[in-house]
Amino acid sequence: MKPLALNLALALLALALFLASLAVGPAELGVSESVRGLFAGGGEAAAIIMREIRLPRALLGLSIGFTLGMAGAVLQGFLRNPLAEPGIIGVSAMAAFGAVAVFYSGLAGSALYALPAGALTGALAAVLLLMALAARNGSTLTLILAGVALSSLAGALTALVLNLSPNPFASYEIIFWLLGSLKDRSIAHVWLALPLMAAGWLLIALSARAIDALSLGEEAAASLGIHMARTRFLIVAGVALGVGAATAVAGTIGFVGLVVPHLIRPLTTRMPSRLLLPAGLGGAALLLAADVAVRLVLPAGELNVGVLTALIGAPFFLWLVVRARREVF
């Protein structure tokens, strides 16, 4: 498929699902009522529901899905590892731990900005650690095992911090941090996370040429004039910013970055850089679809979207492992 046609098709799909996300919710609003509520404003219930509840949710679904899809694509390209994904290699889990450690300790009162501050730190630590590991030993297996260890550790530390919180409700929030959700977010969350995620997209996009060259191997890339340290910085910072901000407001949403690049890669020229934008758009579409589905399956909205992405993604992961056993190891 031509890159332009692919991007256009995926963008249209994401847009359609964005609109579907705006249309779904416990309050049964008609189409004209929703549209009027969204654009006309005023004190009407429809306007408040559309602008304060559904729009933030749809925007977060779109941008977080885009971030996760793009981060998955760039990590798979850069690490030349088909199983790399922010969730699997432990970046999301560390981001969640960072957010939990800063927020629940009450260091910043109960201010919302404590969440991304902690999450970015956690994500950055995870990416740096994994990059250092990958630089020394490039095997697919090492990275995945390190990710498993990191995820378990971060999960345990998250549970520990939540249990230590004097607030009796805090320990129930472990489920949100392990399997994220977009429920009841507000526009404040969008303003908090979207700029950081956008910065992450930009940094990842700047690394596009380098990851293409890297697909020929590091020495070949160096001979093509690729500055390795710069590339590594762009990807570390880009993934940490994007995944950190996404996790800070939505918890850990796994497998989006794993599934989408694999589904879309056959439709591209297989150049890693050509995958970045379609993977982002596809990730947005997948997360929006999952978020619409959880609201339709349980109208009270209690099922976390992270549960659904894991239900889709984990069997896919298993299938990849089985296939990769033949091809990679």
Name the residues that contact other proteins, by CB under 8 A: 25-27, 43, 45, 48-49, 52-54, 103-104, 106, 109-110, 112, 114, 165-167, 169-170, 172-173, 176, 184, 186-188, 300-302
In whole angstroms, how far apart are CA 277 and each of 71, 176, 261, 283, 326? 10, 28, 10, 10, 29
Taking the least distance from each CB to other proteins, the nearer of 65 and 301 is 301
Taking the least distance from each CB to other proteins, the nearer of 166 and 225 is 166
Token couple for 219: 């020495």
Taking the least distance from each CB to other proteins, the nearer of 112 and 129 is 112
C-alpha–C-alpha distance, residues 291 and 21, integer Å: 7
Taking the least distance from each CB to other proteins, the nearer of 88 and 99 is 99
In the chain, the amino acid numbered 88 is I
Taking the least distance from each CB to other proteins, the nearer of 89 and 174 is 174
* Residue 147: CB minimum distance to other proteins, A: 26
C-alpha–C-alpha distance, residues 288 and 290, integer Å: 5
C-alpha–C-alpha distance, residues 30 and 27, integer Å: 10
Taking the least distance from each CB to other proteins, the nearer of 95 and 114 is 114
* Residue 283: CB minimum distance to other proteins, A: 24
- CB-based contact 267:213 (threshold 8 Å): no
* Residue 83: CB minimum distance to other proteins, A: 31
In whole angstroms, how far apart are CA 132 and each of 43, 135, 171, 208, 228? 54, 5, 33, 21, 13
In the chain, where does DSSP find H-type helix?
A: 3-23, 31-40, 45-48, 55-78, 91-104, 114-136, 140-164, 174-178, 187-206, 208-214, 218-223, 228-250, 256-264, 272-297, 305-327
DSSP code of residue 170: G
* Residue 115: CB minimum distance to other proteins, A: 9
* Residue 109: CB minimum distance to other proteins, A: 7
* Residue 226: CB minimum distance to other proteins, A: 42
